[in-house]
Amino acid sequence: MKLQWKVAIVTGAASGIGADSARLFASEGATVLCVDRDHHGANAVANEITAAGGRAKALTVDVSSEAEVRSMVDTTVEEFGRLDVLFNNAGVMLPSDGDAEETDEAVWDQTFAINVKGVWLGCKYGIPAMRDTGGGSIINTASFVAVVGAATAQLAYTASKGAVLSMTKELAVIHARENIRVNALCPGPLETKLLMDFLDTEEKKQRRLVHVPMGRFGQSEEMAKSALFLASDDSSYTTGSTFLVDGGLTSAYVTPE
């Protein structure tokens, strides 16, 4: 098993990438903390894992709250003795996110509070815990839009994921010699509730798909498998990476400088 005896925190674990990653990490031997603001959803995933013979616990956490994130890490270490994997996956894409002129300040602030501040706080408290463990793997969910932007206006989301990507690179360099790896998982367009709620017309969906060489939306299970690679020792020489899992989208539109 790739994560035998490891302890992992997965934020945004009530659905989508987070839920599938929590299930997969547990099936590979990890004890998983299923973290989400949606207690019912996180608890359902944790119960599913334990019913299948795995080890999991649900925690209700607002990742934009420093006190709650600190408590999340403290609880993990107190109950399970260590922290090996931190998947900072929680994020939002608000329906009213638009271009620079259309986007309200409240939309911008909420997006950055969860997508950027939440990742920073996870690292702020997760890194010392991993240092005590002797190292670990941090995976931050960014996006292909951090590399190429988005065809459908979503400026707050795009800017927030760019921030996650640059933060990941710096943290990877700073902590590389502490055996703490930090990588950015950059999904392409996925058939998840988060994106489907945003791409709420067939026209919007097709405008996104026309850019994907594979011609389809990705699945959260595919992202979970990529997260497992980054979480496990299979990626022991990988840090600071922009780990694109995007159906070829960025390869079709990014040219070398």
Active site residues: 157
Measured CA angle at 108 (ends 221, 110), to 5 deg: 65
Measured CA angle at 98 (ends 17, 205), to 5 deg: 55
Contacts of 220 by beta carbon, 8 Å cutoff, 6+ apart? 16, 17, 19, 20, 190, 191, 192
Cα radius of gyration rounded to whole Å, the chain: 17
d(CA 6, CA 220): 22
Q: Provide the strand spans (E) within the chain.
A: 7-11, 31-36, 55-60, 85-88, 136-141, 180-187, 242-245
